[in-house]
């Protein structure tokens, strides 16, 4: 998959990693970039085609797919973090996480898959796809579901030659993580590493050390990962 000359669509393109994806795509010579957001007026990057897109709304997804039928690189970046636990948390917030990360991502892939051909899909996942975090367990569940979705659609789209890549990262220096005093990776770095992975044809990009550690921990004793669990 070559970025130069491609036609790309980025969800959640108005800020954070999504905005950096758009800038990096333009810098690499993408022929056209659709920058989408629930509030398209917030997209402030010149040289892009702005579309309204709420990935949790099937009608909005269908409308965007009808407008952007030439896409061959789909970047599923849109997301939400409600910082909700499972046992006592608000069920509506838990559903919102799943509606966004699982159902929303699936809605978009289903709508655009027929046009992708030998292009690519990039799903922005998280190190929390592989590890739970007390205080944001709904996010972990939703991202774990999106990770499994990524593996599933990779198998299903292989016959048409579409590359499906998962991007996994720890903390990014974005609004979503503004309240956390942890080591963070810049969104521009993450976008560059992800697109490097797409051009190299890899199916999984570990964007930082946190993602690498989370993956490695899966093979270990879970008591080491969750030492406070009973």
Does 226 participate in catalysis according to the annotation?
no
pTM of the model: 0.94
* pLDDT value of position 70: 98
- Cα–Cα–Cα angle for 190, 14, 144, nearest 5°? 55
Dist. CA 53–CA 18, nearest whole Å: 13
Q: Among residues 34, 83, 133, 139, which one is catalytic? A: 139
| Spatial strand order in the sheet of 120-124 | 49-52, 32-37, 7-10, 73-76, 120-124, 163-168, 204-206
Q: What is the pLDDT of residue 173?
A: 65
Q: What is the pLDDT of residues 135-194, one digit of tens each?
A: 999 999 999 999 999 999 999 999 999 999 999 999 876 666 556 566 777 899 999 999
pLDDT of residue 171: 81
Question: What's residue 177's pLDDT?
Answer: 57
Predicted local distance difference test score (pLDDT) of residue 180: 57
Which residue do the tokens 């994806």 mark?
21
Contact 104, 176 (CB under 8 A): no
Residue segments in the chain with a per-residue pLDDT below the cut of 70: 173-182, 230
Query: pLDDT at position 229, please?
Result: 82
Q: What is the pLDDT of residue 9?
A: 98
Q: Which domains does the chain have, with CATH numbers?
A: 7-225 (3.40.50.720)
End-to-end CA separation in angstroms for the chain: 47
């Amino acid at each position: 998959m070559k970025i130069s000359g491609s036609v790309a669509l980025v969800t959640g393109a108005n800020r954070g990693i999504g905005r950096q994806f758009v800038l990096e795509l333009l810098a690499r010579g993408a022929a056209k970039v659709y920058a989408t957001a629930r509030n398209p007026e917030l997209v402030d990057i010149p040289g892009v085609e702005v579309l309204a897109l709420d990935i949790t709304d099937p009608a909005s997804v269908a409308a965007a797919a009808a407008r952007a039928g030439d896409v061959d690189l789909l970047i599923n970046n849109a997301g939400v973090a409600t910082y909700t636990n499972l046992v006592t948390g608000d069920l509506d917030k838990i559903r919102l996480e799943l509606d966004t990360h699982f159902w929303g991502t699936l809605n978009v892939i289903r709508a655009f898959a027929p046009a992708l051909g030998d292009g690519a899909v990039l799903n922005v996942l998280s190190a929390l796809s592989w590890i739970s975090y007390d205080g944001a367990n709904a996010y972990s569940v939703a991202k774990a579901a999106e990770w499994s979705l990524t593996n599933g659609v990779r198998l299903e789209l292989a016959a048409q030659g579409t590359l499906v890549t998962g991007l996994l990262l720890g903390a990014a220096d974005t609004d979503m993580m503004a309240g956390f005093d942890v080591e963070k990776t810049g969104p521009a770095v993450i976008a560059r590493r992800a697109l490097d992975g797409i051009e190299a044809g890899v199916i999984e990009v570990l964007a930082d050390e946190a993602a690498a550690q989370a993956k490695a921990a899966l093979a270990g004793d879970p008591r080491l990962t969750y030492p406070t669990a009973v």
